[in-house]
Amino acid sequence: MAVTVTEKGAGADAAVVEVPAVGTRIRALREAMDLSLRDLAHRSGVSAPMLSQVERGETSPTLAVASRIAAGLDLTLSQLLRLDEDRHVVVTRRGEGRKRRRAGHRVEELTPPLPGQRADISLHRLEPGAVTGGPGDPPIHEPGSRETAVLLDGPATLVVDGERHELRTGDSVTFDADLAHHFENNSDHPAELLAVVAAGLRRS
């Protein structure tokens, strides 16, 4: 991909990044993460009107603005501009995935938020007594999604639509991810699992 940096004002941060279809890419990435313009503005510190202009191709972002937009999308500037890609290959180094935590549940997203991404892989670590979500939480995946989880270190319990399934180290399970579900660690040791969620239409 051709990337042109044009000086505009003083300092490197004022340089304008000319990347073909960068606005279209930003919009696709934002929508893939289910973010509104206001959401991305809050995450990046770039105003919603400016983001809208960039997405529509009405203006080119400076390096400083592009860096903030990338951070708002949980990407590096190089990833946003696709400088880290070689023939559409994106490498996520060990420990460098997007992370989040919640009450003893640690998640690392191993797939980048690329446009058109239809499957997501994540690594989950559950401390003793932790769960991936509350029993009353609504499904977080779109209709027709399926999830396959491999228990790397267990045991753990999967609860799907109120039904409990006991899993041990090395077990795998596939289920309809648009149903209410969560994993529990009722043991005295941390549990770890790898989850793959694929979008699609479930057959009745």
Specify the pLDDT at position 41: 94
Specify the pLDDT at position 6: 44
Tens-digit pLDDT profile for residues 116-145? 677 889 999 999 999 997 655 656 777 788
Specify the pLDDT at position 103: 84
Tell whether domain 98-198 is in CATH 2.60.120.10: yes
Q: Could you tell me if 25 and 61 are in contact, meaning their C-beta atoms sit under 8 angstroms apart?
A: no
Q: Could you tell me if 46 and 26 are in contact, meaning their C-beta atoms sit under 8 angstroms apart?
A: no
Q: Pinpoint the alpha helices (H) of the chain.
A: 22-32, 37-44, 48-55, 63-72, 77-80
Low-confidence ranges of the chain (pLDDT < 70): 1-20, 83-88, 114-116, 134-139, 200-204
Q: Please report, for the chain, the start and end positions of each structural domain, with discontinuous segments joined by +.
A: 4-80, 98-198
Specify the pLDDT at position 95: 82
Specify the pLDDT at position 17: 57
Specify the pLDDT at position 135: 56
The share of the chain scoring above pLDDT 90, in percent, equals 40
How many Å apart are CA 103 and CA 128, to the nearest integer? Answer: 11
How far are the Cα atoms of 81, 95, 149, 172 from residue 189, in angstroms, in the given order?
A: 42, 21, 19, 19
Q: Specify the CATH number of the domain 4-80.
A: 1.10.260.40
Specify the pLDDT at position 24: 85
How many Å apart are CA 143 and CA 197, to the nearest integer? Answer: 12
DSSP code string of 5-49: EE--SSSGGGPEEE-TTHHHHHHHHHHHTT--HHHHHHHHS--HH
Specify the pLDDT at position 203: 46
